[in-house]
Structure 1
Amino acid sequence: MEIHEALYTTRMMRRLRPDPVPLDVQARILDAAVRAPNGGNTQRWHFVAVDDPELIHEFGELFRQGRALEYEKFRTGQGPMAVPGPGADPAAHVETMRRIKGSGDYLADHFDEVPLLLFVFAIDDLGGANIYPAIWSVLLAARAEGVGGVMTMVLNNFRDRVNELLGVPVVEGWKMSAMLTLGYPRGRWGVAANRRPVHEVSSRNHWDAPFGVEVPQPLWSPRDQTPPALAAVG
């Protein structure tokens, strides 16, 4: 797969088929992940792949409880999901959250069918600087294999129980960074169209100074489409 296709079409996939992800596919995904950049090449990461149906069921129960907590915060105007991004249309944000909740509800209701969970742990991670490149590499490598997924922080609400179920050696400093649900998606891949364009979220040399070019449409498109021309501004 060409790199730009992976970059433009890797998105959160919550509707997954129950088909197992073969071990060789899992190995290729994680082999790509451990090539990710990390500070000092310290490689302070550990990945726990979970495909035991009983464990997946346990985590599904926690996932549903965690989502209920997060959406209660949202309902009362608390938490990061409640506030739209800078410059975003509040009505559009509400609609986006409605769609996300719908697909998230599907994942919660069908969690026992998810074929693979991937828990990512790190030590002294400096706010995620050393682990998030590896997580993104997981998602990109999975996309190249036709595997979709979503990264979630919901189980941080039950960190101690997760550690107990997985036997995490917390005394050594290991801390869960995220969990990913992985599997072959029921939906189709596509370029995310609901993004504010580059020139609205970028500046040059000074905050709010023009970036210098307008990007009204995605600069990569499927092979049967012609990417748009750029227009210099400012």
Structure 2
Amino acid sequence: MVALELYAAMKARRSIRKFKPDPVPRELIARILEMATWSPSGLNWQQWHFLVVTGPKKDELARSYGRIVEFGMPPAGQRNPQQEGFLQWAKTLGGAPVAIVALSPAHGQPGTRKMNLESVASAFSHLLLAATNEGLGTCWMTGPLDNEPELRKVLALPDDKEIVAVTPLGYPAESPAAAPRKSLDEVVTWIGF
């Protein structure tokens, strides 16, 4: 496969919610994770830790997310098609064969905690871009954290780890259009330039 040029990969990345069931080779996942570890990190602590989850544990993770999504919805029979579709996505992570969970060291000092979370978030962004470059789909998810106590049990996480984000990973079964982007005038303030 020909690697995409960096800017093309950045523009090609999409939040994928439908995946093919095809397994993703372990070597390919390892390559993507290695690229994630080239991210900058506060004090070069390289705070990230990744859980690569497949099989029954991945299904359990998805069901945990599905329960918290369903809790916030109208009862069955009163949901609209969009709600039903989103619930199905949550319960299965779109059929992705892999989920990756990004962890950070837990820290009681607010400044250090923020630095750790930002460092892991940067690595997670690298992971998503590397996956796109390899023809794989992802979706940056924080919704599963709404059911964090159950998710921590499913993953048997120790107290010294904090969940930052989750992504399904697999070969995309859809090609969503790019969402419109705000103009630079809306998101940039130039000071002293």
Same fold per superposition (TM over 0.5)? yes
Shift of 1:105: 4.0
2:145 partner SS: helix
| Structure 1 residues 149 and 101: alpha-carbon distance in aligned structure 2, compared to 1, 3 A threshold | farther
Aligned length: 178
Under a length normalisation based on structure 1, what TM-score does the superposition of the two structures give?
0.67
Under a length normalisation based on structure 2, what TM-score does the superposition of the two structures give?
0.81
Q: Which residue does 1:140 correspond to in 2? A: 129
The answer on 1:8 being equivalent to 2:11 is yes
Shift of 1:48: 0.6
Q: What is the aligned-residue RMSD (CA, Å)?
A: 2.7
- CA contact 2:63–2:91 (8 Å) conserved in 1: no
- CA contact 1:14–1:103 (8 Å) conserved in 2: no
Q: Which residue does 2:114 correspond to in 1? A: 126
- CA contact 1:14–1:104 (8 Å) conserved in 2: no
Separation in structure 2 between the aligned mates of residue 61 and residue 154 of structure 1, nearest angstrom: 13
| Structure 1 residues 166 and 34: alpha-carbon distance in aligned structure 2, compared to 1, 3 A threshold | same
The answer on 1:155 being equivalent to 2:144 is yes
- CA contact 1:10–1:189 (8 Å) conserved in 2: no
Q: Which residue does 2:64 correspond to in 1? A: 62
State the percentage of identical aligned residues: 26
The answer on 1:199 being equivalent to 2:185 is yes
Structure 2 gap ranges (5+): 75-79, 108-112
Q: Which residue does 1:187 correspond to in 2? A: 174
1:49 partner SS: strand
Shift of 1:193: 4.3
Per chain length, whose mean CA-contact separation is higher, i.e. which structure has more relative contact order (CA < 8 Å, sep 6+)? 2
Structure 1 gap ranges (5+): 73-97, 212-234
- CA contact 1:148–1:182 (8 Å) conserved in 2: yes
